[in-house]
Structure 1
Amino acid sequence: MSETISIDTIDGSGSFQAYVAHPEGRPRAAIIVIQEIFGVNPGIRRKCDDWAAKGYLSLAPDLFWRLEPGIQLDPDVPEQFQQALGLMGKFNQDAGIRDIEATIKRARALLGDGGKVGVVGFCLGGRLAFMTATRTDSDASVGYYGVGIDNLLGEKHGIAHPVLLHIPQADHFVDPQIQAAMHAGLDDHPKVTLFDYPGEDHGFADTFGKRRSDESAKLADGRTAEFFARNLS
């Protein structure tokens, strides 16, 4: 079962919508799915549905609500891709993290039993997943092809719970020097695991569409499922 709910901001200044997918029976935990620059589109909603099928309560907050509430864009349509880039340029990431924190709090309330909450994000969401790990009480965080994480390494001391990052080595948004900086800064962190995907580009784990690379997507998603099963139980 799925529904859309309203979540109040941390500071009480407004509210935003979140897509929620419910599992059958008692949830094993909750997972927040953090959008790409394309909004809570069909691909993100499908990821929520897939986590619900695995027994997790899953929520995808509309992080662009201050800019274009309810926006849904297709990365395979050039004009919409450019529109998404424009939204990313205007997006306040610090406010986005506070909205993710509010979603985590709502998820904990919905679980009602002190259950654990993880986050998984893609592209912009991959970056936000890392920031969520350093700034909130999320119990486990996964980032797919996060952009600009090398600029966030100064926050790594804030990581208290496990983090998993998926790094496509042919990512045209994250060059080899940035990837090397990520490894240099995080390989020795006891809470962080990095997986590299040779030959893969940004968006390789898209739910569907031209960017998806099926074999590597399934490998990464399997690792994510194992990570959450281990750290959210």
Structure 2
Amino acid sequence: MLIEESYKDVATKDGGSMRIFTWHPTVPNYPKAKFPGVVVFSEIYQVTGPVARFAKQIAGQGYIVAAPSSYHEFTGPEPLAYDGHGTDKGNDWKVAKKLAAYDEDAELSVSLLLDLETCNGRIGATGMCLGGHLAFRCALDKRVSAAVCYFATDIHSQTLGAGKNDDSLARAKDIKGELVMIFGKKDNHVPPEGRDLIRKTLHESGICFSFFEAAWAQHAFIRDEMSKGRYDPGLTKICFEILLELFNRTLRSDLGPRVGGEQEIEDPFPGRNRFNSPDLDTSEDESNWAHLNFDIGQEL
């Protein structure tokens, strides 16, 4: 699908302005076509080339995308460099910015999309690294129907924003939409116990969510530039399909309000265990498998 790129500078409560980059799908001869909206939150480097390409991919699937410049209190909308200096600045500003200011950015971005005549009124959110956490917080907004959070940092440690004492996990019950959390098992920014805490809290909060952990993925594995050897194109494609499945189902379809509690899953073999049932002869199965020999070699 064709897309048009633009931006809008919106006023913020601190008296400044924030630039929101937008990518809008277009269908020739259909000027009044309506599309869902998606807010894309960037990593600590603001809207870089990889973030913009990610946003364009989403827009090309028929979504109006808005990407805010997260550090507008400290600098212009230009991206930071993927180097030591840029990393230091991004990390410093991440914990210098007030939590309420992050939430204001999300609110303004959602409102910008909803104010468009071409928006169908349904909003999703996504982002990576810092942006994954911001997408999680954006989902606290009841106007957001779905969010996909890529390797979201600082949720488990509650260290986002000034004072390093965020309430993202504590407010998880406020999330009304559906969540997808994506991590790599080799992610040293969000350790196993941190991922376990997030998953446990979401379960206990009654959130509708999916949780994916890729066996060999490291932090920032979807970034196709300056990723220090961590970029995995195949896995990135799979994760993008997960994103599209969620957004297509929740933002394109009009499902109406959610009703009822948990779905009761019927057991197809009540009272029977596949390999321990007295009524089931497994000798043939065992003989069929006995000749197989699996050799996966050594771990490299």
In the superposition, the TM-score normalised over structure 2's length comes to 0.72
Q: For the Cα contact (< 8 Å) 1:162–1:192, is it kept in 2? A: yes
Q: Percent identity?
A: 22
- Number of the residue aligned with 2:35: 28
- Number of the residue aligned with 2:239: 220
1:112-123 correspondence runs (5 A): 112=118, 114-123=120-129
Q: What's the CA shift for 1:114?
A: 4.6
Q: 1:149 to 1:12 in 2, by over 3 A?
A: closer
Q: What's the CA shift for 1:47?
A: 1.6
Tell me if 1:129 matches 2:135: yes
- Number of the residue aligned with 2:152: 146
- Number of the residue aligned with 2:21: 19
1:40 is aligned, of 43, 47, 52, to 47
Q: For the Cα contact (< 8 Å) 1:187–1:194, is it kept in 2? A: no
Q: What's the CA shift for 1:74?
A: 3.3
- Number of the residue aligned with 1:69: 76
SS state at 1:110 partner: coil
Q: 1:207 to 1:97 in 2, by over 3 A?
A: farther
1:50-199 correspondence runs (5 A): 50-75=57-82, 77-112=83-118, 114-150=120-156, 151=158, 152-187=168-203, 189-199=206-216
- Number of the residue aligned with 1:4: 7
Q: 1:130 to 1:113 in 2, by over 3 A?
A: closer
Query: Unpaired runs of 5+ in structure 2?
Result: 28-32, 159-167, 253-300
Q: What's the CA shift for 1:93?
A: 2.9
Higher percent of residues as helix: 1
Q: What's the CA shift for 1:68?
A: 1.1
In structure 2, give the amino acid aligned to 1:222: E
Q: 1:173 to 1:115 in 2, by over 3 A?
A: same
2: CA distance, partners of 1:44 / 1:196: 21
Q: For the Cα contact (< 8 Å) 1:64–1:71, is it kept in 2? A: no
Q: For the Cα contact (< 8 Å) 2:22–2:65, is it kept in 1? A: yes
Q: 1:143 to 1:18 in 2, by over 3 A?
A: same
Query: Unpaired runs of 5+ in structure 1?
Result: none
Paired residues, number: 231
1: CA distance, partners of 2:222 / 2:50: 10
Q: For the Cα contact (< 8 Å) 2:142–2:177, is it kept in 1? A: no
SS state at 2:103 partner: helix
Q: What's the CA shift for 1:12?
A: 7.8
Q: For the Cα contact (< 8 Å) 1:30–1:111, is it kept in 2? A: no
SS state at 2:131 partner: helix
2: CA distance, partners of 1:126 / 1:113: 23
Q: 1:136 to 1:69 in 2, by over 3 A?
A: farther
2: CA distance, partners of 1:66 / 1:22: 26
1: CA distance, partners of 2:237 / 2:81: 21
- CA-to-aligned-CA distance 1:17-36 (integer Å, 9 cap, x gap): 11111111324211111111
In the superposition, the TM-score normalised over structure 1's length comes to 0.91
Q: What's the CA shift for 1:43?
A: 1.5
SS state at 1:194 partner: strand
In structure 1, give the amino acid aligned to 2:248: A
In structure 2, give the amino acid aligned to 1:146: A
Q: What's the CA shift for 1:161?
A: 0.9
Higher alpha-carbon Rg: 2
**RMSD of the TM alignment (CA)?**
1.9
